[in-house]
Amino acid sequence: MKYCSSCGQPVELKIPQGDNRHRFVCPSCETIHYQNPRIVAGTVPVWEGRILLCRRAIEPRYGYWTLPAGFMENSETTQEAAARETLEEALAEVTIEDLYTMIHVPHIDQVHIFYRATLTNGQFGAGEESLESRLFGLHEIPWEEISFPTVRRTLELFIEDTRTGQYPVRISDIRPRDRKTAVR
Ligand SMILES: [Zn+2]
């Protein structure tokens, strides 16, 4: 951040009185610009035992496959965000079920949340941000072309859990060069 979003003057990076972290502070209007993690919400959309994936039409990871997910908007719940992203990216209406994964990605200041979901009528397509979407059997997942580590982990866990049919909430972290740690 270079300029104050309230008054347009240059900001300074400093620890405000009574705080213990560096913040962007405006010396002109005294606004403290707090920056907090962003939430990405998405679904694992299932239809007749297969998982719906979208092939990205945007960077980063153009052409790679992803679960439908995106940044949460103000004034919506995480379930609403997950359903909205699924509709936008895969043109698929879903019934949101239980929370499934919550994956912290601290080095990029994000938290990724995926819900299990079922397609309402089996219909899907390609939204603006997708080249195509397609249902994949559990043995057909294009592992070499999966877009993001949080999507990969969610798919790995989901397929593991289909063996027992139990899908407990899985909370984990992803750190740089460290994709496998801290699953609990
Ligand atoms: Zn200002």
Domain 1-35 has CATH 1.20.1250.20: no
Q: What is the DSSP letter of 10?
A: B
Q: Which of 170, 173, 53, 38 is nearest to 115 (CA)?
A: 170
pLDDT, position 177: 72
Asked whether this chain's domains 1-35 and 38-173 adopt the same fold, the reply is: no
Q: What's the CA-to-centroid distance between 15 and ligand 1, angstroms?
A: 16
pLDDT, position 182: 45
Domain residue spans in the chain?
1-35, 38-173
pLDDT, position 152: 98
Is the peptide bond between 60 and the residue preceding it cis, with omega within 30 degrees of 0? yes
Q: What's the CA-to-centroid distance between 168 and ligand 1, angstroms?
A: 46
Taking the CA atoms of residue 49, residue 139, residue 104 and residue 147 in that order, the dihedral angle to the nearest 10 degrees is: -110
Q: Among 1.10.1370.10, 3.40.50.300, 3.90.79.10, 3.90.25.10, what is the CATH number of 38-173?
A: 3.90.79.10
Q: What's the CA-to-centroid distance between 21 and ligand 1, angstroms?
A: 19
- Which residues contact residue 157 at a Cβ distance below 8 angstroms, ignoring those fewer than 6 apart? 100, 101, 170, 183
One digit per residue, the tens of pLDDT, for the chain of length 184 reads 999 999 999 999 999 999 999 999 999 999 999 999 999 999 999 999 999 999 999 999 999 999 999 999 999 999 999 999 999 999 999 999 999 999 999 999 999 999 999 999 999 999 999 999 999 999 999 999 999 999 999 999 999 999 999 999 999 999 987 555 544 3
